[in-house]
């Protein structure tokens, strides 16, 4: 029996625990989502940067909502596990646009969204989160709202007060309806642990080379670990290496570790 959106949403919420953090290898198209699901993912998260790049746009509120929603819908239809969508700042200029975006992703069966503040004033993201929550309530859908705080990622404000600024934003976003707080750009254990202790909802961090392991992050209190655009960047780096080998020495060694044609083709041939 196919799981319903409420069932998937309930499962997705339950996966946010520091005892065994939800690990998300972010996908950017149907094939990457199927590969990640087949590797054992309990849920799929999209990367807005990877989605934008795959559609020929830069990251950063440049992609049209309709194009993003079409791809997100394809991904949600292609996998069995719950899907949460990274929607940048909401794909629109104001809170009403964000509500329209959230309505669209929920109609595709998605169970959560990431919304980022970026360089916007915190009050603006709070309005967008409130609009997203209201849109989900109107749709009668459960939606896990993950609010991204970009103070560390973008180096915003005075370094000496960045921790307190992050907590202030986190509290405002939770009051506006956020179910989780995402703080990318932090890799040192002391800061991560302090954030986890001070934030009242599940903490999401972005991991990569040099960051603590998933288990170590869980011990610090982290409930969700994302790779962000890292997987897409690694995939495009593999394409560049193959091209450089081909156009340079004319060899093909970088293709050695590729997924076999039958395996990848089978993943996309299975009925979902």
Q: What is the CATH number of the domain that holds 131?
A: 3.20.20.60
CB 73 within 8 A of CB 100: no
Instruction: Report residues of the chain scoring pLDDT below 50.
Output: 1
Residue 2: its pLDDT value, please? 64
Distance CA 254, CA 164 (A): 46
CB 54 within 8 A of CB 70: no
Residue 179: its pLDDT value, please? 98
> Does a structural domain hold residue 111?
yes
> Does a structural domain hold residue 203?
yes
Query: What total of structural domains would you count in the chain?
Result: 1
> Containing H/E element for 86?
strand 83-86
Residue 143: its pLDDT value, please? 98
% of the chain beyond a pLDDT of 90: 96
Residue 52: its pLDDT value, please? 98
Distance CA 238, CA 119 (A): 32
> Does a structural domain hold residue 49?
yes
Helix axes 189-198, 162-175, angle to 10 degrees: 30
> Does a structural domain hold residue 123?
yes
> Does a structural domain hold residue 144?
yes
Nearest by Cα to 235 from 54, 34, 22: 54
> Does a structural domain hold residue 225?
yes
> Can you list the pairs that 209-218 forms with residues at least 24 positions away whose Cβ atoms lie under 8 Å?
211/187, 212/187, 214/21, 214/23, 216/189, 217/21, 217/192, 218/18, 218/19, 218/20, 218/21
User: pLDDT digit string (tens) for 215-229?
Assistant: 999 999 999 999 999
pTM of the model: 0.96
Q: What range defines the domain where residue 50 resides?
A: 5-229
> Does a structural domain hold residue 147?
yes
> Does a structural domain hold residue 259?
no
């Amino acid at each position: 029996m196919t799981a319903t959106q409420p069932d998937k949403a309930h499962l997705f919420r339950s996966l946010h625990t520091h005892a065994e953090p939800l690990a998300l290898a972010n996908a950017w198209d149907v094939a990457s989502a199927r590969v990640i699901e087949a590797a054992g993912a309990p849920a799929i998260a999209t990367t807005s940067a990877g989605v934008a790049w795959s559609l020929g746009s830069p990251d950063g509120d440049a992609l049209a909502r309709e194009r993003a929603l079409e791809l997100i819908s394809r991904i949600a239809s292609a996998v069995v596990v719950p899907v949460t969508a990274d929607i940048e700042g909401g794909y629109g200029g104001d809170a009403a646009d964000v509500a329209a975006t959230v309505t669209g992703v929920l109609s595709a069966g998605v169970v959560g969204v990431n919304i980022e503040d970026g360089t916007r004033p915190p009050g603006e993201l709070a309005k967008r989160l409130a609009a997203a929550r209201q849109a989900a309530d109107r749709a009668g859908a459960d939606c896990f709202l993950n609010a991204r705080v970009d103070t560390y990622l973008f180096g915003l404000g005075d370094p000496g007060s960045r921790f307190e600024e992050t907590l202030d934003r986190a509290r405002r976003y939770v009051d506006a309806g956020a179910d989780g707080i995402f703080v990318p750009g932090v890799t040192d254990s002391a800061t991560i642990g302090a954030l986890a202790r001070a934030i009242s909802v599940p903490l999401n961090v972005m991991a990569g080379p040099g960051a603590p392991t998933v288990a170590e992050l869980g011990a610090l209190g982290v409930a969700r670990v994302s790779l962000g655009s890292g997987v897409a960047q690694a995939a495009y780096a593999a394409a560049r290496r193959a091209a450089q080998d081909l156009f340079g020495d004319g060899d093909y060694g970088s293709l050695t570790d590729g997924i076999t044609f039958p395996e990848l083709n089978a993943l996309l041939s299975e009925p979902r």
